[in-house]
């Protein structure tokens, strides 16, 4: 299924690389590993809302970031960590200067930082000609964050483990109204919350397709973050809101763009929102094929 893309998915310049957002269409926590990480079951789908990145290769091996993000030290930025990981894994003598134009809210459950990291790995693997295949890139991606591999693979997926065991799925590609409450949710904080449900019984993809779309973080996040509760209450009037990942963003599903935009027009002006199309294939894959 090929979806028409919204203007947000149009590259600002031909050399720009997309880092799309993801939604978790469901999220179950079925256990905890000895290292403290939670065993999940989730459904990932991309949306056509993206951060955009530019890469200028340097001959001197240095890694530079134009315009560091507020509150994120340059060496902690996931683009820098991804570039370093690729450099170290391949012994590549080249460096890069990276510009990242953020459109995705940080700590929003949209996976923006993870997607920036994946786009950096994929783009530099091409620009530095380091020749890693998809499996090797996904292996480099996982230590950067549990969400990074799905952005490397670039296909909507049923995810298990910490989200690294991925089975591609072909889903309907509806339109979403996404609300971005004025708060940032720390994934680590939610996963360490004493009241989080951690023992859901395992589900199957068939359960999701039959309409089961729980998010086991929903109650804890709604109780802990009042702006998320406000956004969810508002979406109750539009068929009900769902949480992506650990939030803060929430979303509702619409059959077409017109209905999603109609709902958005009623959204309180205090609430940031956008309309986006669900995508089973990441625009990053199309960008890579453009280079082939
Ligand atoms: C929950 C999810 C669902 O897609 O998304 P977000 O809401 O963060 O976008 C992801 O699993 C998040 O992935 P990601 O954001 O890459 O998390 P990481 O950086 O690997 O982990 C941040 C912290 O969350 C906790 N963590 C994360 C993932 C997991 N399965 N169990 C955990 O307990 C760990 O304490 C970890 O130190
Ligand atoms: N390039 C980046 N973009 C966004 N966040 C980043 C980036 N590099 C590091 N981070 C850190 O990762 C955290 C989680 O980011 P993000 O992926 O946007 O949220 P989430 O995991 O909720 O989807 C941020 O709060 C920030 O501290």
Whether 133 and 155 have beta carbons less than 8 Å apart is answered as no
Distance of alpha carbon 81 from alpha carbon 153, whole angstroms: 19
Buried b (16+ CB within 10 A) or exposed e, 119-128: bbbbbbbbeb
> Ligand 1 mean position to 27 CA, how many Å?
12
Residue 292 predicted with pLDDT over 80: no
Q: What pTM was computed for the model? A: 0.95
Residue 109 annotated as part of some ligand binding site:
yes
- The residue from 8, 116, 147, 216 that is catalytic is 147
Residue 247 annotated as part of some ligand binding site:
no
101 lines ligand 2 (CB under 6 A): no
156 lines ligand 1 (CB under 6 A): no
245 lines ligand 1 (CB under 6 A): yes
Residue 4 annotated as part of some ligand binding site:
no
Which of 51, 106, 115, 184, when mutated, tests ligand 2's pocket best, judged by the most ligand atoms within 8 Å of its CB? 106
The band of 222, judged by pLDDT with boundaries at 50, 70 and 90, is very high
Domain count, the chain: 1
Task: Specify whether 147 is catalytic.
Answer: yes
What pLDDT, on the 0 to 100 scale, is given for residue 7?
A: 46
Number of residues assigned to the chain: 292
Range(s) of the domain holding residue 186: 1-292
Residue 4 predicted with pLDDT over 70: no
Closest by Cα among 154, 243, 167, 244 to 204: 167
Burial zone of 271 (CB within 10 Å; 0-12 exposed, 13-18 middle, 19+ buried):
middle
Q: Which tokens belong to 277?
A: 């199309």
- Which residue do the tokens 């940031």 mark? 272
Q: What is the mean pLDDT of the chain?
A: 94
Take atom 5 of ligand 2 and give the residue whose Cα is closest. 113
* CA atoms lying within 13 Å on the CB side of residue 271: 27
Task: Specify whether 22 is catalytic.
Answer: yes
Residue 155 predicted with pLDDT over 60: yes
Residue 8 predicted with pLDDT over 70: no
Tell me, what CATH number does 95's domain have? 3.30.230.10
What pLDDT, on the 0 to 100 scale, is given for residue 5?
A: 39
**What's the ipTM?**
0.96
113 lines ligand 2 (CB under 6 A): yes
Take atom 13 of ligand 2 and give the residue whose Cα is closest. 107
Mean pLDDT, rounded, for 29-52:
96
What is the three-class DSSP state of 7?
Answer: helix
Whether 125 and 284 have beta carbons less than 8 Å apart is answered as no
Which of 146, 153, 157, when mutated, tests ligand 1's pocket best, judged by the most ligand atoms within 8 Å of its CB? 146
Q: Any idea what the Cα angle at residue 12 is, between residues 175 and 150, rounded to 5°?
A: 55
What pLDDT, on the 0 to 100 scale, is given for residue 9?
A: 62
Distance of alpha carbon 28 from alpha carbon 261, whole angstroms: 30
114 lines ligand 1 (CB under 6 A): yes
Whether 243 and 200 have beta carbons less than 8 Å apart is answered as no
Judged by average pLDDT, the poorest of 9-13, 164-168, 265-269 is 9-13
At a CB cut-off of 8 Å and minimum separation 6, what does 69 contact? 77, 100, 102, 106
For 45-92, what is each residue's pLDDT tens digit?
999 999 999 999 999 999 999 999 999 999 999 999 999 999 999 999
Ligand nearest to the CA of residue 25, numbered in listed order:
1
Distance of alpha carbon 98 from alpha carbon 215, whole angstroms: 35
Which of 106, 117, 187, when mutated, tests ligand 1's pocket best, judged by the most ligand atoms within 8 Å of its CB? 187
Distance of alpha carbon 143 from alpha carbon 274, whole angstroms: 31
Residue 1 annotated as part of some ligand binding site:
no
What pLDDT, on the 0 to 100 scale, is given for residue 270?
A: 81
């Amino acid at each position: 299924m090929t979806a028409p893309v919204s203007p947000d998915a149009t590259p600002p310049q031909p050399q720009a690389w997309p880092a799309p957002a993801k939604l978790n269409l469901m999220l179950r926590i079925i256990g905890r590993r000895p290292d403290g990480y939670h065993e999940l079951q989730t459904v990932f789908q991309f949306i056509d809302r993206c951060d955009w990145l530019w890469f200028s290769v340097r001959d001197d091996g240095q890694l530079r970031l134009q315009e560091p993000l507020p509150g994120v030290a340059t060496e902690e930025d996931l683009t820098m960590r991804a570039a370093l990981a690729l450099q170290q894994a391949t012994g590549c003598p080249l460096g890069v200067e990276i510009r990242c134009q953020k459109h995705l809210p940080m700590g929003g459950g949209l996976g923006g930082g993870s997607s920036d990291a994946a786009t950096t790995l994929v783009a530099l693997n091409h620009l530095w000609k380091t020749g890693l295949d998809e499996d090797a890139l996904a292996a480099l991606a996982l230590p950067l964050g549990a969400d990074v591999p799905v952005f490397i693979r670039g296909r909507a997926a049923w995810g298990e483990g910490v989200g690294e065991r991925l089975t591609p799925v072909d889903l309907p590609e509806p339109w979403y109204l996404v609300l971005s409450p004025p708060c940032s949710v720390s994934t680590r904080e939610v996963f360490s919350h004493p009241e989080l449900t951690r023992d859901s019984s395992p589900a199957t993809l068939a359960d999701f397709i039959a309409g089961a779309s729980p998010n086991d973080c929903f109650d804890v996040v709604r109780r802990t973050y009042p702006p998320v509760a406000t956004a969810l209450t508002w979406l109750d009037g539009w068929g009900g809101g769902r949480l992506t990942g650990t939030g803060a963003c929430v979303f509702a599903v619409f059959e077409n763009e017109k209905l999603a935009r109609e709902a958005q027009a009623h959204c309180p002006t205090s609430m940031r929102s956008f309309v986006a199309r669900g995508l089973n294939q990441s625009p990053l894959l199309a960008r890579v094929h453009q280079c082939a």
